[in-house]
């Protein structure tokens, strides 16, 4: 066995020098194109064989180096392995001229064989004749498979951060007309290059992991920012509406939220409140479509004791309760004409008079109104006061439908899944294909419909991971064949009445007057039973009656 000291040698053959230069230039060209060790190392070993005759080259790496990602190698220091600790085991990781089976056999215990000794001692070893060296194991390739000539074996340490992490080794035919010292000199350069490449690749991998972690933090921050005020999404249409909202947040002018039903008007109204200086004051929401006409005035403006039968104590109305804060008037288009006049007076003068009272009460309230109706057309028909419309329409903000913000559907679906899973102690997930299918659905009921579908799915599915096929039976169009505005057949209504989940979205024009009247006649004027027969809630049924002018008609 010989160490890395050599006698004086004659000048190198110019032909061999050209081969060396070609090898180095090709290796450096490869490094410039890719830092992947599996690419550069194998081609380097290939060029060693083709240009210099150094055959069956292999790079053996210590087990602690790990996989190709080399995680942690960039930060590893010699002190990480205590002095006197046993040398690590190792295995062939890259090779040229060896089969997969031969590479798999190339595993070495601590200090085992020539390779193990180089890894343990950090010293190069040159075996002049493998047949005469008892420590040469011939583990990967049997001697009978090597040329009959005298075969030498060269093994040099590969270092990273002054620690030996591997070995570069190869076979060499002694009868070649090239100086051994020249081969060793080239191999030393290649071993150094291999160590630098592994270290560089490890640094890149570490930086990549750090950037990925930072990207995840930024993504979460963006998601948090995108979910400000509880509004989830990053689509341009949504961000435009949010931008308009924030620009007028500090103003006192009325805001009118326009858009289809189910687009999140209440969330936007609350966002107007939370983004203003009134955020610590009351936020009062009023659903104008759910208040009987006879109670409208007392609910909005309050009443004094004795104002009507049963008024045993005075009560502050919603405007008083919202003083210095924000009042949200949802479905403002459903407000009776008589109350519209009183509301206009309150908005203009900033005062209210309780029902049965005589004194004016000063209130400072920011009004946010919302409707899915075209108030301009209602003004033309005479069902909405023109002056009130102008007073409310100071800052109109149109909320986009879910069809206009499809890129938000995935985030909204995941949000609903998480919330409903937690509420019902379930663990239901959606496959990538199912999420893609949700993005393709038309969603006539907007966010409300999406939330209802997710709730139905979580409650009824038996699958932990919902496939696109499983999802199909929960989507309204594919569940019962109806379009959202199509009336419900009696047998479907019965099924809907017994269903323990939320109902499908139905447009306000879903049932004609004749159908509503017929249902009432069949159930003796009982709105609750008539609504159930048509697959509606009592509120939905009552709303349709009022919309068609039937709510004050006897014996419809």
Please provide the size of the chain in residues.
556
Span 464-475, average pLDDT: 90
∠ Cα 49 51 54 (to 5°): 35
Longest alpha-carbon distance in the chain: 123
The token duo for 210 is 């750090």
As a whole number of Å, the CA-based R_g of the chain is 40
Q: Report pLDDT for 399.
A: 95
Span 463-480, average pLDDT: 79
Q: Which residue has the tokens 């209210």?
A: 352
Q: Report pLDDT for 365.
A: 93
**What percentage of the chain carries pLDDT values higher than 90?**
44
Task: Please report which confidence band the pLDDT of residue 492 belongs to, taking 50, 70 and 90 as the band edges.
Answer: very low
Span 515-519, average pLDDT: 85
Q: Which residue has the tokens 């009134």?
A: 278
Q: Report pLDDT for 389.
A: 93
Choose the most confident range, by mean pLDDT, from 15-24, 442-451, 474-483: 442-451
Burial degree of 168 (CB within 10 A; 0-12, 13-18, 19+): buried
Task: Please report which confidence band the pLDDT of residue 527 belongs to, taking 50, 70 and 90 as the band edges.
Answer: confident
Q: Are 108 and 89 in contact (CB under 8 A)?
A: yes
pLDDT tens per residue across span 321-376? 999 999 999 999 888 888 899 899 999 999 999 988 889 999 999 999 999 888 99
Q: Report pLDDT for 12.
A: 57
Q: Report pLDDT for 555.
A: 41
Contacts for 530 with CB less than 8 Å, ≥ 6 apart: 516, 519, 520, 522, 523, 541
Higher pLDDT, 151 or 205: 151
Span 430-448, average pLDDT: 92
Q: Is the pLDDT score of 201 beyond 90?
A: no
Span 76-104, average pLDDT: 76
Q: What are the chain's domains?
A: 14-206 (3.30.450.40), 230-400 (3.40.50.300), 403-481 (1.10.8.60), 488-556 (no CATH)
**How would you classify the pairing of strands 351-352 and 302-303?**
unpaired
Task: Please report which confidence band the pLDDT of residue 19 belongs to, taking 50, 70 and 90 as the band edges.
Answer: confident
Buried-exposed string 233-256: b where 16+ CB fall within 10 A, e elsewhere = bbbebbeebbeebeebbeeeebbb
Q: Is the pLDDT score of 498 beyond 70?
A: no
Helix (H, G, I), strand (E, B) or coil at 384: coil
What CA–CA distances, in Å, run from 121 to 189, 204, 222, 293?
19, 29, 52, 95
Higher pLDDT, 8 or 454: 454
User: What mean pLDDT value characterizes the chain?
Assistant: 83
Q: Is the pLDDT score of 512 beyond 50?
A: yes
Span 507-532, average pLDDT: 78
Q: What share of the chain is helix, strand, coil (3-state, %, to 5)?
A: 50, 15, 35
Span 17-22, average pLDDT: 87
Q: Report pLDDT for 85.
A: 59
The token duo for 19 is 């081969």
Helix (H, G, I), strand (E, B) or coil at 243: helix
Q: Report pLDDT for 69.
A: 39
Task: Please report which confidence band the pLDDT of residue 70 belongs to, taking 50, 70 and 90 as the band edges.
Answer: very low
**What percentage of the chain carries pLDDT values higher than 70?**
85
Q: Report pLDDT for 526.
A: 78
DSSP secondary structure string, 397-429? Answer: EEPPPGGG-GGGHHHHHHHHHHHHHHHHT---E
Q: Report pLDDT for 513.
A: 82
Q: Is the pLDDT score of 39 beyond 70?
A: yes
Q: Is the pLDDT score of 221 beyond 70?
A: no
Q: Report pLDDT for 469.
A: 92
Q: Is the pLDDT score of 9 beyond 80?
A: no
Q: Report pLDDT for 84.
A: 53
Q: Is the pLDDT score of 46 beyond 70?
A: yes
């Amino acid at each position: 066995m010989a160490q890395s000291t050599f006698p004086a040698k004659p000048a190198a053959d110019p032909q061999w020098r050209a081969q060396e230069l070609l090898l180095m230039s090709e290796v450096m060209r490869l490094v410039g194109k890719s830092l992947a060790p599996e690419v550069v190392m194998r081609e380097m070993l290939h060029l060693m064989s083709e240009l210099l005759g150094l055959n069956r080259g292999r790079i053996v790496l210590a087990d602690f180096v790990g996989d190709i990602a080399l995680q942690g190698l960039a930060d590893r220091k010699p002190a990480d392995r205590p002095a006197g600790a046993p040398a690590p085991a190792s295995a062939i990781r890259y090779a040229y001229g060896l089969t997969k089976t031969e590479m798999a056999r190339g595993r070495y215990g601590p200090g085992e064989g020539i390779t193990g000794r180089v890894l343990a001692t950090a010293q190069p070893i040159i075996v002049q004749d493998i047949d005469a060296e008892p420590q040469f194991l011939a583990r990967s390739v049997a001697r009978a498979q090597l040329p009959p000539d005298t075969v030498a074996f060269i093994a040099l340490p590969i270092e990273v951060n002054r620690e030996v992490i591997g070995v570069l080794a190869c076979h060499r035919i002694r009868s070649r007309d090239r100086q051994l010292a020249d081969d060793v000199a080239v191999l030393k350069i290649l071993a150094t290059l291999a160590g630098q490449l592994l270290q560089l690749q490890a640094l890149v991998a570490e930086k990549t992991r750090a950037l990925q972690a930072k990207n995840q933090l930024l993504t979460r921050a963006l998601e948090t920012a995108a979910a400000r005020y509880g509004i989830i999404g990053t689509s341009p249409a949504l961000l435009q509406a949010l931008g308009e909202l924030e620009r007028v947040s500090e103003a006192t002018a009325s805001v009118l939220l326009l858009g289809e039903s189910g687009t999140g008007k209440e969330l936007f109204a609350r966002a107007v409140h939370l983004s203003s200086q009134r955020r610590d004051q009351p936020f009062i929401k009023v659903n104008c479509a759910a208040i009987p006409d006879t109670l409208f005035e007392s609910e909005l403006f309050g009443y004094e004791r004795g104002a009507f039968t049963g008024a045993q104590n005075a009560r502050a109305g919603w405007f008083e309760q919202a003083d210095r804060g924000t009042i949200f008037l949802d479905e403002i288009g459903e407000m009776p004409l008589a109350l519209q006049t009183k509301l206009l007076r309150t908005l203009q003068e900033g005062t209210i008079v309780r029902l049965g009272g005589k004194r004016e009460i000063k209130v400072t309230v920011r009004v946010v109104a919302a409707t899915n109706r075209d108030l301009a057309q209602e003004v033309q028909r005479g069902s909405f006061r023109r002056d009130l419309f102008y007073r409310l329409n100071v800052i109109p903000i149109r909320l986009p439908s879910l069809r206009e913000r499809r890129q938000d559907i995935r985030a909204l679906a995941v949000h609903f899944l998480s919330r409903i899973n937690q509420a019902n102690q379930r663990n239901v997930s959606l496959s990538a294909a199912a999420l893609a299918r949700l993005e393709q659905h038309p969603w006539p009921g907007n966010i409300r419909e999406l939330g209802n579908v997710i709730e139905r799915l979580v409650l009824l599915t038996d699958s932990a991971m919902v496939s696109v096929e499983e999802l199909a039976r929960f989507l309204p169009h594919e569940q019962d064949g109806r379009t959202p505005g199509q009336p419900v057949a009696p047998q479907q209504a019965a099924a809907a009445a017994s269903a323990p989940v939320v109902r499908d979205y139905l447009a306000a024009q879903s049932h004609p007057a004749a159908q509503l009247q017929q249902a009432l006649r069949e159930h003796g004027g009982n709105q609750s039973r008539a609504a159930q027969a048509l697959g509606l809630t009592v509120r939905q049924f009552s709303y349709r009656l009022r919309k068609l002018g039937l709510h004050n008609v006897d014996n419809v």
